[in-house]
Amino acid sequence: MSKAVKVLIAQMIIWSMVAIVMLVVVSMPGTIKNWGDNALKTVLLGALVFLGYGSDFAFQLSSRSKRWGYQKDERDRHINTKAVNFSMIALLLYIFIFSITLYTVYESAGALPVGWMWILAYSSIVEANLSVRLASLLYYKKYGY
């Protein structure tokens, strides 16, 4: 298994943990209705996203170091490009389906709780990161490690 795949697996695990904790926070009773009254949950979700991006930054720094012996070639760049293209489509579908679902659920109420917009924003970041990592792993498997 190449170092690129090992890094992808580590990043996938980290972003999966971020997604799970985010799901736990969001599914707590009263989170959506009382979003504006509880700044702690907003800060917590922001810290989770910061943790995910911080780990990405640390992996990027270590991959540029000659000490770790990490080298990217044309195949890695090709796989990354294909994965990002796939992720863009997945993200657009996610936002569209999420938005349409919210519209149909809250159409009769005439108003949408603001908590859903925060959740859409944070979950879009997590979805984009997970989908690009998953697509990269699938392309590495398809083309060989």
Q: Please compute the mean of the pLDDT values over residues 91-110 and round it to a whole number.
A: 94
Return the pLDDT at 84. Answer: 95
Mean pLDDT calculated for residue range 18-43: 82
DSSP one-letter code for 110: S
Q: With 70 as the cut, is the pLDDT of residue 108 above it?
A: yes
Q: Distance between CA atoms of 57 and 52, rounded to whole angstroms?
A: 9
pLDDT at 63: 74
Domain that holds residue 99: 3-143
More confident of the two residues 69 and 119: 119
pLDDT for 144: 77
Residue 1: closest CA among 141, 118, 142: 141
Over residues 48-67, the pLDDT tens digits come to 889 999 998 988 887 776 66
Summarize pLDDT for 118-134 with one digit per residue, the tens: 889 999 999 999 999 99
Phi/psi of residue 144, nearest 5 degrees:
90, 145
Query: Do residues 119 and 48 lie in contact, with contact meaning Cβ atoms separated by under 8 Å?
Result: no
**Interval 107-115 mean pLDDT:** 87
- Summarised one tens digit per residue, pLDDT across range 81-93 is 999 999 999 999 9
Percent of residues, the chain, with pLDDT higher than 90 = 44
For 101, other C-beta atoms within 10 Å of its C-beta total 11
Provide the residue type at 32 as one letter: I
Give 137 or 114, the one with higher predicted confidence: 137
Residue 56: per-residue pLDDT:
86
Number of domains in the chain: 1
d(CA 91, CA 70): 29
